[in-house]
Structure 1
């Protein structure tokens, strides 16, 4: 947990930030702007934005003692027009009846004005960094834009009138606290200082492992560019279930996927592909994984299958006792072996699903955390924690070769003064071309991830009952650090974060004080909050829907709170409903109704000394499904509920929203569950629970009981899911798949996968 405390110290003094996808407005063009070398952020009037929204990782930089700024972003901020001549490799600024031409890789620029041309010599080349023209600070700001420049301790001020940053220490520190706490590493020494490692250090005998036989050219591996565009297929016209996700348009990886024709299943050591057309189940392909790889999730997109997971390498190390206290002299230290972890993305072509082949791979050092997919881009999030002194995360990519290389310094953000024990990394990979994955790292730690179409947030909690939020701006393959913020309390899961109309909403629990809902503005400054809600209880579920929010807390009863978030400065609780049990997941089925999945709670009675029955405690009852009418924000109502099974019953969907199936057309919800009708009998039956919902009614359509396979193998899937394809329903119980007619639920066929010996 030390890593969490360190991150808390980092963010205890940070002002929150936010990224806008739009350029600065004309009304903001007057006055000073502030930059910090190494930071991709710009500060003006207390508002923080990326320097270049289309390239969010671009920062002011120093090369050969000269500070370079992005020509387009700074020029356009002050009202200039910018273009680029590809043929002559020249950037052009049009400003106040003159043109300024900067030829790339040359130490001069030309001025064209009133029919005259003048060439000006400069001491630094104009250059291209991350597809943007970079030019000397003072040439751009003073000579062309006619602005005053102030520069001290890596802070830059540009505007009308000079600012003495050296003597205005309060202003300097305020700027640094907003845009200067996370910076691009300038050299390896800065990286080493920013990553403290643990107090126990080991010297590893193998610092750079190459396993070309495992990762290298795979038989049948081809270039993505050789494949052409994906062709349409019948499966695209099918009606089939999709993974239950949080944000529309942002896909989430899962253990089971379908494309409307085949079912794809993830096992730890293999991927299994089953043809499911017309309910005639047949396994058509098995993809074994290397012995050091473990698959964790997948995406399916047309003729692409994307596998995500972790690869392990065991490294022998010598313990460094010189860093410990004298008591270690009395100890005999055994040999130490540490596993290096690499998160991987493997992209397969499945245009012929019976013969899939690998076309693209990417690995980065660190534990796989989660992933998201937007269009053709997959975003992989990993956390790396290191126990060695020589430290730089390694990455390898099939687009550049099969050998590990250290992550480039330009892709690493560090937190000077607040050493962390590892890195958060984000890899962005295009599944449709040969381009290598783009990588961004920051010396920090994070666990809970929320992503929309322009930003990715990673949250982490610590001992101080604080949650820190690290934000990355995303634009296709471009990923850039966009700032950090902090709120009180802990987050329960990804649904506790949501962005709407430029504001981030965050729901947290504090053990002693209660629960909180924060609204943060476009710079992640808190604009409004509801705090100390339901003291003594904890948040069990959250759902934000536009300008409304819903929170379920629980200790002895289940309060459902309704929030009006239409005014970011004044969020309000408008209604509250108290019912037995709790909902651990909330799902909108219309603008006025929510489904809640959770557990019933039953009072435990005992006779007191007078023989009277009194409540002495509570126990969980069966799985509970509630239907809430929230059309009246002041009076939420549970209009229907179902209790399925008795105490001891359980479903994975309570903690994993991807284990739920929803069919909007048939108004059906389904999930796998382990059920019992006897609270004192721990013999559970496995079954698929199908619940229909419409208007103010929910009905238990059927429980399909089915015995699970009684054998296990690492190359057999273990997840349970319910999916549908057209007129058929499929109940997946690990290695067992059963097909049913969707209308009457009559069994069609069953397939039990076997170990791939």
Structure 2
């Protein structure tokens, strides 16, 4: 008897390991390509769809992962092992044992074509891998995951998750709306990439161009989209829902080469696609924006409401839910006078941010889920389709593909009624379909290094405000989830994050400025390791104030906080487990943006302030009134005693610059001794009775355009002059307030020895050395 059992066991082992099973019937469809880390898995028997579940031979899956497979005759189960891990798969069962714990499978193990088949998703997820389906190419992409996220899985589970968090709906929507602009605001980080010069490139379509300026970005090597881009010969601009291509070099031959219009939406002057930002490289123009072509208005569902929903909530149900999409359009630059569209991709939701690293493009969207409209709907296909996110890739056709709920993970620590969608494109091969990952949750701020993308979301739990971080590895247009981390407080913007030597550094604020108890605002710096685990921290910096700007530079960090005065703090982060606060400088005003000059000097852009006594407040409290724009050069050679070496004050109260909330508006070149930015200057009339007598008095309009400076360590800021697109007639019509309209200068850039200023109405070329005008082209 024992011999018979042993023989049977040996036979089953041989069958399992050599694929000698009796076949069973299947619902086999077209052949499916299964890739592990981008490489196809070699199957002895092809994966098959059975009752809607993708099944594959367990032996082949185990072999691909370098795992061992044996047969346990007593339990009639295949046993997969490696390094102490054990997965036991009973025959014809809808459950398995993972390290001794019984786990239900979606599907059952079966004998197919003489092989033991197992649900592919279950097998891979049980060994800590991510499985994603690409319907456009009928392929499965499997990648290793270091920190697993739970999967949404079913419609019922999604409803449960949304029900638990529907009270967060309005806050989530507000956060999503805010995040659409938060990534453009400033504070700072990383070595200087501003004004980084492009490389002169020669091709058949353009002459050899000299050195030229690029977009002021946060991380060197990681490009950011903007409204103006140049390749050293041409200037590309987002211009009133159009894209304008201008031949800018040589300046004496400057002309508008082409204008790219987009179709108008029905019964409106707006386009179906509204471009917001662009990228340019040697071969492609990439346009990003919002598309409203597929907008599906949702009528108010009276039956879906409950008596607990107030009148205000009912009014807000229909407008909140929007099915606008984030759209990317890629154009071939072979003929710039006739741009050719070569690819379109879309993600449902509002555009949040993007990055371009080499030939890889990554972009992020937030799709809000208006659950109120579907809370009473049955488990129908329509309900599932409406609640699930979707995407489109022109390589696969014009229709949208809904992402199945069993392929959507959720972010449990940032669970909101919405989805974060990350799209990735390999611009080297536009025939490849877009890589899309989707997560139920929210994200507001985005930071990217060359290797990783971080999405940060602010959460509230037990009256505690935290920032949840999600890390995605980047590789050739693919963004793969890696880790989750958490720090107390909230981030100001993207510059509050920085990756350096395998560590993520963050600056956060907790509490509220207006409170005077334990809940008052405090500021902190956290250092996380490669797995987003806390390694070091500095707590409780400047109680009662909040962060206005931060700059991480190598082993140091600089932080500006503000309430009535501007403390500039210097922090030593060289030892991640022992960061130190070194020195501080308190001066009037504040800096919204910090930019490196060199390793021992940093430029601050912000506002000057005047502190006056608050006669309406008890005690000796005072109020700080902001005045004109202030630019300062800080000397941090002595890290324990930072100094304000030079300052430049521009205008009076009311003076403003886009640079104060968008770092991309800065042009700086240390090598060219050049500093420039757009500014709207307001000035008080010295003869007026209220001039300088009241800190709250606003100035009248005096200038809009670009201010140009020389900047060095000997003479500081040397004002060269202003370049405006306004005529004398325009200026003569100006009153206390003035709207420059299409003549408002938005960006400044250089090509060779020529400085270019760009507005919606004009591009003007001036000599850098003298600021003498060389040419002007009007944009129709």
SS for the counterpart of 1:340 is coil
Structure 1 residues 72-221: aligned runs within 5 Å = 90=42, 103=44, 105=46, 124-125=57-58, 133=64, 139=70, 145=82, 147=84, 149=86, 182-196=149-163, 198=166
Counterpart selection for 2:525 from 504, 517, 527: 517
Aligned to 1:399: 395
Deviation per CA, 1:223-270: give whole Å up to 9, x if none. xxxxxx994765664211100001110000000011111111103421
Does the C-alpha gap of structure 1 residues 185 and 618 become closer, same or farther in structure 2, counting only changes over 3 Å? closer
Q: In the TM superposition, what are the counterparts of 1:660-739 in structure 2 within 5 Å? A: 660-678=666-684, 680-708=698-726, 720-739=746-765
Summarize the Cα distance change of 1:358–1:139 in structure 2 as closer, same or farther, 3 Å threshold. Answer: farther
Residue 384 of structure 1 corresponds to 367
CA contact (8 A) 2:726 2:743 kept: no
Query: How far does residue 635 in structure 1 lie from its aligned partner after superposition?
Result: 1.6
Determine the structure 2 residue equivalent to 1:111.
none
In structure 2, the gaps of 5 or more residues are 1-26, 29-33, 49-54, 72-77, 104-127, 129-144, 170-200, 264-270, 375-382, 513-519, 685-696
1:529, 1:276 → 2: CA distance? 49
What RMSD, in angstroms, separates the aligned Cα atoms of the two structures?
A: 4.0
Shift of 1:684: 3.9
**Contact 2:523/2:543, CA 8 A, preserved across alignment:** yes
* Unaligned segments of structure 1, at least 5 residues: 1-62, 65-69, 74-82, 91-101, 108-121, 167-174, 202-228, 609-613
- Pick which of 563-572 and 480-489 moved more: 480-489
2:710 and 2:720 in contact (8 A); partners too: no
Q: Which residue of 2 is the match for residue 364 of structure 1?
A: 347
Q: Match for residue 39 of structure 1?
A: none
Please report the TM-score for the alignment, with normalisation by the length of structure 2: 0.69
SS in 2 for 1:683: strand
Q: Distance in 2 between matches of 1:435 and 1:136?
A: 31
How far did 1:699 drift?
Answer: 2.0
Cα separation, partners in 2 of 1:600 and 1:646, compared to 1, 3 Å: same
Give the equivalent residue in structure 2 for 1:445. 442
**Which of 566, 574, 585 does residue 577 from structure 1 map onto?**
585
Q: Find out whether 1:457 has 2:454 as its counterpart.
A: yes
For residues 329 and 525 of structure 1, what CA distance do their matches in structure 2 show? 42
Deviation string 1:403-459 (CA, Å, 9 cap, x unpaired) is 111125575222479853111111001223221110011111111100011111111
Aligned partner of residue 324 in structure 2, secondary structure: strand
Query: Is 1:534 aligned to residue 542 of structure 2?
Result: yes
**Which whole-Å CA distance do the structure 2 matches of 1:326 and 1:617 have between them?**
46
Question: Partners of 1:134 and 1:381 in 2: how far apart?
Answer: 31
Q: Distance in 2 between matches of 1:624 and 1:460?
A: 32
Within the candidate set 410, 425, 430, 2:421 is matched to 425
Instruction: Identify the range of structure 1 (459-468 vs 442-451) with the bigger mean alpha-carbon deviation.
Output: 459-468
State the TM-score, normalized to the length of structure 1: 0.71
8 Å Cα contact 1:235/1:260 also seen in 2: no
Give the direction of change, closer, same or farther, for the CA distance of 1:652–1:123 in structure 2 (3 Å limit).
Answer: closer
Residue 496 of structure 1 is matched in structure 2 by: 496
Q: How many matched pairs? A: 602
Contact 2:635–2:642, Cα closer than 8 Å, also in 1:
yes
Q: Distance in 1 between matches of 2:154 and 2:452?
A: 28
Alignment partner of 1:285 is 2:258: yes
Shift of the 617–482 alpha-carbon distance from structure 1 to 2, 3 Å rule, reads same
The question of 1:747 aligning with 2:680 is answered: no
Whether the 8 Å contact between 2:392 and 2:400 is mirrored in structure 1 is yes
| Partners of 1:719 and 1:412 in 2: CA distance | 44
Greater RCO between the two (CA within 8 Å, min separation 6)? 1
1:311 to 276, 282, 291: 291
SS of the residue aligned with 1:559? strand
- SS of the residue aligned with 2:296? strand
SS in 2 for 1:516: strand
Task: Answer whether contact 1:627 1:641 (CA < 8 A) is retained.
Answer: yes
What is the distance in 2 between the residues matched to 1:517 and 1:332? 38
The answer as to whether partners of 1:249 and 1:374 remain within 8 angstroms in 2 is yes
